[in-house]
Amino acid sequence: MENNQTDIKKTPTAAVAFAWLLVSVPLLWGVFQTLAKTVALFQYKN
Amino acid sequence: MSAFSFLDRDHTIAPPGYSRWLVPPAALAVHLCIGQAYALSVFNLPLSRLLGIKESLPGDWGLTTTVWIFNIAFVFLGLSAAVFGKWLERVGPRKAMFASACCFAGGFLISAIGIYLHQIWFLYLGYGVLGGIGLGLGYISPVSTLIKWFPDRPGMATGMAIMGFGGGAMIGSPLADNLMKFYATSTSVSVWETFLTMGIVYFVFMMFGVFTVRVPAPGWKPEGYVVPTTQTNSLITTANVTADEAIKTPQFYFLWIVLFMNVTAGIGILAQASPLIQETFLLKGITAPTADQTKNAAAAAAGFVGLLSFFNLIGRFFWSSLSDKIGRKPTYMIYLGLGCALYALIPSLANAGNLALFVGTFCLILTMYGGGFATIPAYLRDMFGTMQVGAIHGRLLTAWSAAAIAGPSIVTYLRDYQINSGIPKAQAYSTAIYVMAGLLVIGFISNLMIKPVDSKHHFKEETAPVAPPEPETARIQQGATA
Note which residues in 31-50 of chain B have CB less than 8 A from chain A: 32
- Per-residue pLDDT, B479: 40
Let me know: does B17 contact A10? Beta carbons within 8 Å: yes
Note which residues in 332-371 of chain B have CB less than 8 A from chain A: 355, 359
Candidates B281, B372, B283, B273; CA nearest to B320 is: B372
Run of H or E including B325: helix B291-326
- Per-residue pLDDT, B481: 42
Distance of CA B297 to the CA centre of its chain: 29
* Contact at CB, A39 and B26, closer than 8 angstroms: no
Question: For residues A46 and B298, what is the distance between their CA atoms, to the nearest angstrom?
Answer: 11
Note which residues in 1-46 of chain A have CB less than 8 A from chain B: 5, 7-11, 15-16, 19-20, 22-23, 26-27, 29-31, 33-35, 37-46
Q: What are phi and psi of B19, to 5 degrees?
A: -85, 125
CA distances to A20, B60, B79 from B140, rounded to whole Å, are 21, 36, 12
For chain A, give the mean pLDDT: 86
- The tens place of each residue's pLDDT in chain B, 482 residues long, gives 577 888 988 899 999 999 999 999 999 999 999 999 988 889 988 999 999 988 888 999 988 888 889 889 999 999 999 999 999 989 999 999 999 999 999 999 999 999 999 999 999 999 999 999 999 999 999 998 999 999 999 999 999 999 999 999 999 999 999 999 999 998 889 999 999 999 999 999 999 999 999 999 988 889 888 877 666 677 888 889 999 999 999 999 999 999 999 999 999 888 888 888 888 888 887 878 888 888 888 899 989 999 999 999 999 999 999 999 999 999 999 999 999 999 999 989 888 888 899 999 999 999 999 999 999 999 999 999 998 999 999 999 999 989 988 998 898 888 889 888 988 888 888 899 999 999 999 999 999 999 999 989 998 876 544 445 444 333 333 344 44
Chain B, nearest residue to A39 by Cα: B303
CA pseudo-torsion sign B288, B291, B292, B294: positive
| Alpha helix positions (H), B92-189 | 93-117, 120-123, 131-140, 143-149, 154-183
| CATH topology identical between B1-220 and B229-458 | yes
**Helices and strands, counts by H and E, chain A:** 2, 0
* Contact at CB, B17 and A8, closer than 8 angstroms: yes
> What residues in A contact B307, CB-CB < 8 Å?
34-35, 38, 41
Candidates B201, B235, B176, B222; CA nearest to B43 is: B176
CA pseudo-torsion sign B134, B138, B144, B149: positive
> What residues in A contact B173, CB-CB < 8 Å?
30, 33-34
CA pseudo-torsion sign B301, B307, B308, B309: positive
Candidates B327, B470, B447; CA nearest to B387 is: B470
- Per-residue pLDDT, A2: 43
* DSSP secondary structure letter of residue B8: S
> What residues in B contact A7, CB-CB < 8 Å?
16
Indicate the CATH number for domain B1-220. 1.20.1250.20
**From B26, B208, B481, residue closest to A11, measured CB to CB:** B481
Candidates B195, B182, B189, B177; CA nearest to B60 is: B189
ipTM: 0.88
Domain B229-458 fold: Growth Hormone; Chain: A; (1.20.1250)
* Contact at CB, A33 and B286, closer than 8 angstroms: no
From B252's Cα to the closest Cα of chain A, the distance in A is 33
Chain B, nearest residue to A10 by Cα: B17
**From A23, A29, A37, residue closest to B302, measured CB to CB:** A37
Domains of chain B, residue spans: 1-220, 229-458
Question: Which pTM does this prediction carry?
Answer: 0.88
Write out the DSSP string of B12-39. Answer: GBPPTT-BGGGHHHHHHHHHHHHGGGGG
- Per-residue pLDDT, B231: 60
What are the residues whose beta carbons fall under 8 Å from the beta carbon of B38, sequence distance 6 or more?
A: B165, B166, B168, B169, B172, B309
What percent of chain A has pLDDT above 70? 85
Higher pLDDT, B479 or A24: A24
- The band of A27, judged by pLDDT with boundaries at 50, 70 and 90, is very high
**From A26, A41, A46, residue closest to B32, measured CB to CB:** A26
**From A19, A39, A40, residue closest to B25, measured CB to CB:** A19
> What residues in A contact B28, CB-CB < 8 Å?
23, 27
**From B19, B170, B481, residue closest to A34, measured CB to CB:** B170
